[in-house]
């Protein structure tokens, strides 16, 4: 890849214009975004200034960097020209001495292109003759081995095929012979490295004709050229180092400017604004009768004065309005006190009547249990015994139902009145469910109902164990009541997003969609009445007191499904 200096400068200029336009578009976009963001004034100002400084500094550094690149390339060009002139002087010196003899080394052979190319001294030492071209070639090999630079002598009329020109040299030689150029240079890339190449013509002189007169040359003709190649890795490393220094200096400059601007803004803007904010907060919190004016002598003082006038007007209005509100709410307070008194009397009445009902019901149930145990022993007629036992069973079931209703009523009343105390402790939900399932073993054995418990987690929650057991007993009891014989009940435990969910599914008739929002209401039952109609209402109250949720699940599976979830922590 070859680029002339003019092409490089033109390309850099076009790129610079595009880069500036991109920076301006970026700056405009950033300013638009900052106006839209709901952030503090100080942050908006500092970020905006930093963006403007970064963009402008970036543009300046870009042009400085490109100028440095041009200067370094010019320095390399001057270095290449100096090397070329040094090589020409060396060749001229060799030509003026009609070549030079050097002691022959084993790997050196005499040139077939020179007459008297080898001599021997009186001590038997051999010397070979070197022409200007050969000396140039040897010096080039030596410089290349050192890795500093190298050069190549070439011509369009070759004597030695090793001096054949490449594409760059061929084009330059054609321009030299036509007289269009006096020298030429380019930058080439080979792999990851860049090289600067310079070429200038060699003209025929009197000393040159002894070797090249047979080719038809005369003094002043272009015999060939010498190209000098200089590695530019060091130059580019210098450019990179310069970029780092400029970037560090720019960052330091921007940082100092931002710090100084922040200090000035803090003292001139933020501090008065903070004082104004404090005045607003004081007016809002303590309803100060008079708001002080912040003396800054600028727009902030005008704003503070306007706020002071507004706060005085609001204070006067608030004082009048407060008197009216006090007069209007006095009757509401009296009515609320009356309602509170009536509610307390209602709660007290329910508690007393429930207590009075529970005591005789418990006594009746105990007497029924005693008679149920004694009658088979003292009776002689099996038929009379069966009749009595049937009636006693009916009485016992109704007494149990009345006791459950009283207990449920008391629990629901405590929940609704806010006197429902919870005692939290770590609860292993899986263990608690197994305990509840085992307590129903006798009932499920008669109906042939089986349980399947699926747990994806250990199921540890912080809850009131007795109340959660009460919820599980109610839900499992409902599932058993609505499950057909020889069916299954599935209980699933899963933890998702910090909540533990327990789902109880049965294979009964299911819960109709139209009543799913009502089953958690008090005294609401579905189909055949199995209980008091308060169980699910109590479950909902207990779960919500634990900051949880309880609901009926939709699903394609046959049967009903109720799920409740509790926060793990």
Distances (CA, A) of 529 to 77, 228, 526: 106, 109, 7
Query: What pLDDT score does 140 carry?
Result: 77
**Which strands, in side-by-side order, build the sheet including 150-154?**
2-3, 184-190, 193-203, 222-231, 150-154
Any idea which residue has 């004034």 for tokens?
41
Q: 355: helix, coil or strand?
A: helix
pLDDT digits (tens, 9 = 90+) for 172-184: 888 888 888 888 8
pLDDT above 60 (res 270): yes
Query: What pLDDT score does 438 carry?
Result: 92
* Of the ranges 243-252, 270-279, 319-328, 482-491, the best mean pLDDT one: 482-491
* Section 540-549 average pLDDT: 88
Does the predicted model carry a pTM greater than 0.75? no
Q: 526: helix, coil or strand?
A: coil
pLDDT above 60 (res 5): no
Residue 527 Rama label (left phi>0; alpha psi -120 to 50; beta): left
Query: What pLDDT score does 504 carry?
Result: 92
Pick the residue with more confidence: 401 or 514?
514
pLDDT digits (tens, 9 = 90+) for 437-447: 998 988 888 88
Q: Give the strand pairing for 450-455 and 488-496.
A: parallel
Structure tokens at 178: 């036509």
* Contact between residue 503 and residue 563 where contact means Cβ atoms under 8 Å apart: yes
**Of residues 135, 293, 125, the one with CA closest to residue 211:** 135
**Which strands, in side-by-side order, build the sheet including 561-567?**
450-455, 488-496, 499-505, 561-567, 549-552
Express the helix, strand and coil content of the chain in percent, nearest 5 each.
60, 15, 25
- Find the range with the poorest average confidence among 154-158, 473-477, 556-560: 556-560
* Section 234-257 average pLDDT: 83
- Residues in a beta bridge with 552: 562
* Contact between residue 459 and residue 453 where contact means Cβ atoms under 8 Å apart: no
* Contact between residue 536 and residue 483 where contact means Cβ atoms under 8 Å apart: no
Query: What pLDDT score does 437 carry?
Result: 92
Query: What pLDDT score does 287 carry?
Result: 56
Pick the residue with more confidence: 78 or 523?
78
pLDDT digits (tens, 9 = 90+) for 476-495: 988 898 888 999 999 999 98
What percentage of residues in the chain have a pLDDT greater than 70?
Answer: 70
Banded pLDDT at 432 (limits 50, 70, 90): very high
H-helix or E-strand spanning residue 503: strand 499-505
Which domains does the chain possess? Answer: 2-96+131-239 (no CATH), 421-567 (3.30.565.10)
* Section 173-198 average pLDDT: 85
DSSP 368: H
DSSP secondary structure, 52-77, as one string: HHHHHHHHHHHHHHHHHHHHHHHHHH
- A 10 A CB-CB count for 29 gives 11
**Of residues 73, 69, 92, the one with CA closest to residue 197:** 73
pLDDT above 90 (res 69): no
pLDDT digits (tens, 9 = 90+) for 380-426: 556 666 766 676 676 766 666 666 666 666 666 666 666 667 788 99
* Contact between residue 203 and residue 252 where contact means Cβ atoms under 8 Å apart: no
Residue 559 Rama label (left phi>0; alpha psi -120 to 50; beta): left
pLDDT digits (tens, 9 = 90+) for 106-156: 766 666 666 677 777 788 788 877 777 777 777 777 777 776 788 888 888
pLDDT above 80 (res 285): no
For the chain, give the mean pLDDT: 76
Query: What pLDDT score does 276 carry?
Result: 73
**Of residues 456, 472, 475, 476, the one with CA closest to residue 464:** 472
Task: Give burial (CB, 10 Å; 0-12/13-18/19+) of 144.
Answer: middle
Cα gap 565→542, rounded to integer Å: 12
Query: What pLDDT score does 388 carry?
Result: 66
Banded pLDDT at 8 (limits 50, 70, 90): very low
């Amino acid at each position: 890849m070859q680029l002339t200096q003019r092409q490089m400068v033109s390309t850099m200029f076009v790129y610079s214009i595009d880069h500036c336009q991109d920076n301006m578009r970026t700056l405009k976009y950033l300013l638009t975004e900052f106006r839209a963001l709901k952030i503090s004034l100080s942050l908006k100002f500092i970020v905006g200034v930093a963006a403007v400084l970064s963009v402008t500094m970036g543009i300046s550094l870009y042009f400085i960097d490109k100028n440095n690149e041009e200067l370094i390339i010019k320095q390399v060009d001057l270095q290449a020209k100096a090397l070329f002139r040094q090589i020409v002087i060396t060749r001229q010196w060799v030509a003026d001495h009609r070549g030079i003899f050097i002691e022959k080394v084993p790997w050196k052979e005499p040139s077939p292109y020179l007459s008297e190319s080898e001599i021997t001294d009186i001590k038997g030492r051999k010397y070979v003759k070197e022409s200007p071209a050969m000396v140039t070639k040897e010096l080039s090999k030596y410089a290349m081995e050192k890795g500093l630079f190298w050069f190549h002598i070439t011509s369009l009329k070759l004597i030695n095929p090793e001096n054949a020109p490449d594409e760059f040299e061929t084009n330059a030689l054609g321009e030299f012979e036509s007289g269009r150029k006096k020298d030429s240079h380019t930058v080439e890339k080979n792999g990851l490295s860049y090289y600067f190449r310079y070429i200038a013509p060699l003209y025929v002189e009197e000393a040159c004709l002894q070797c090249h007169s047979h080719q038809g040359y005369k003094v002043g003709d272009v015999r060939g050229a010498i190209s000098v190649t200089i590695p530019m890795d060091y130059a580019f490393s210098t450019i990179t180092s310069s970029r780092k220094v400029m970037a560090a200096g720019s960052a330091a400059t921007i940082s100092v400017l931002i710090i100084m601007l922040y200090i000035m803004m803090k003292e001139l803007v933020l501090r008065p604004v903070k004082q104004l904010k404090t005045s607003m907060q004081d007016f809002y919190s303590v309803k100060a009768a008079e708001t002080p004016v912040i003396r800054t002598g600028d727009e902030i003082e005008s704003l503070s004065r306007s706020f002071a006038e507004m706060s005085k007007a609001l204070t006067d209005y608030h004082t009048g309005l407060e008197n009216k509100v006090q007069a209007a709410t006095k009757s509401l307070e009296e009515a609320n006190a009356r309602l509170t008194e009536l509610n307390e009397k209602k709660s007290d009445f329910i508690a007393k009547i429930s207590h009075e009902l529970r005591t005789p019901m418990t006594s009746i149930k105990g007497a029924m249990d005693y008679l149920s145990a004694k009658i088979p022993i003292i009776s002689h007629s099996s038929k009379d015994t069966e009749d009595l036992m049937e009636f006693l069973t009916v009485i016992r079931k109704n007494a149990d139902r009345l006791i459950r209703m009283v207990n449920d009523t008391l629990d629901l009343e405590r929940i609704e009145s806010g006197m429902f105390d919870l005692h939290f402790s770590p609860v292993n939900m899986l263990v608690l469910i197994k305990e509840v399932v085992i307590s129903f073993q006798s009932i499920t054995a008669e109906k042939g109902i089986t349980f399947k418990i699926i747990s994806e987690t250990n199921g540890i929650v912080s809850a009131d164990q007795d109340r959660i057991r009460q919820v599980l007993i109610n839900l499992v009891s409902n599932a058993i009541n609505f499950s057909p014989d020889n069916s299954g009940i599935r209980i699933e435990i899963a933890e998702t997003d910090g909540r533990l969910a327990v789902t109880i599914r049965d294979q009964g008739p299911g819960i109709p969609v139209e009543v799913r929002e009502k089953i958690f209401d008090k005294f609401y039952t579905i189909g055949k009445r199995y209980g008091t109609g308060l169980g699910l209402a109590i479950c909902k109250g207990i779960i919500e007191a634990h900051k949880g949720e309880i609901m009926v699940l939709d699903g394609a599976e046959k049967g009903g499904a109720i799920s409740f979830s509790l926060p793990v922590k």
